[in-house]
Amino acid sequence: MQIPKDAKIKARELFESSLDDSGRPDSAKALSIADLVVNAAPRHSVQILREFARLIRLETAKHHAVIESAALLDEGTRDSILKSLQERDGGAVTVEVKVDPVLIGGARIRLGSEVWDASVLSRLLALNS
């Protein structure tokens, strides 16, 4: 189902007003804005809220890193990777650490839509192709 243009515009305006000084979504502002939309019940409110939530989710994902490694990373390595990601991103980054033995060795790091893959698995697959 396609969202009406005016609902999309309104959602974008609400999204921009939910950002903090650093340009990142502020959860308190976002919840407050969502409550206002629900209470005011403007035309296309469901579509506005869906688009607003989508924009918040996309912006939040840009600053979320997933670090996958074949074995559990020691705290120093994890902190070093986190520091690098924060410098690259220019601010706070949320981190999720996963162990995936299929990688065989090395690590795969995803920050938003960027992926750095230094796993043994990816190198073996590259050799195979």
- Expressed as residue numbers, the domain containing 110 is 64-128
For range 68-86, the mean pLDDT: 94
68, 105: one domain: yes
State whether residue 21 is helix, strand or coil: coil
54, 83: one domain: no
13, 57: one domain: yes
- How much is the mean pLDDT over the chain? 93
Q: What is the pLDDT of residue 90?
A: 82
Last residue of a domain, one of 61, 79, 103: 61
51, 80: one domain: no
For range 38-61, the mean pLDDT: 95
With cut-offs at 50, 70 and 90, classify the pLDDT of residue 89: confident
For range 93-121, the mean pLDDT: 94
Q: What is the pLDDT of residue 22?
A: 85
93, 116: one domain: yes
57, 28: one domain: yes
Q: How many domains does the chain have?
A: 2
11, 27: one domain: yes
Which residues lie across from 116 on neighbouring strands? 109
Instruction: Label residues 91-117 b or e (16+ Cβ within 10 Å = b).
Output: eebebeeeeeeebeeebbbbbeeeeeb
Q: What is the pLDDT of residue 77?
A: 93
CA gap 66, 97 in Å, rounded: 6
Burial of 39 from C-beta contacts in 10 A (0-12 / 13-18 / 19+)? exposed
pLDDT above 70 (res 104): yes
List, edge to edge, every strand of the sheet that includes 114-117: 94-99, 64-69, 107-111, 114-117
Q: What is the pLDDT of residue 92?
A: 85
85, 56: one domain: no
Burial of 120 from C-beta contacts in 10 A (0-12 / 13-18 / 19+)? middle
50, 74: one domain: no
pLDDT above 80 (res 1): no
92, 119: one domain: yes
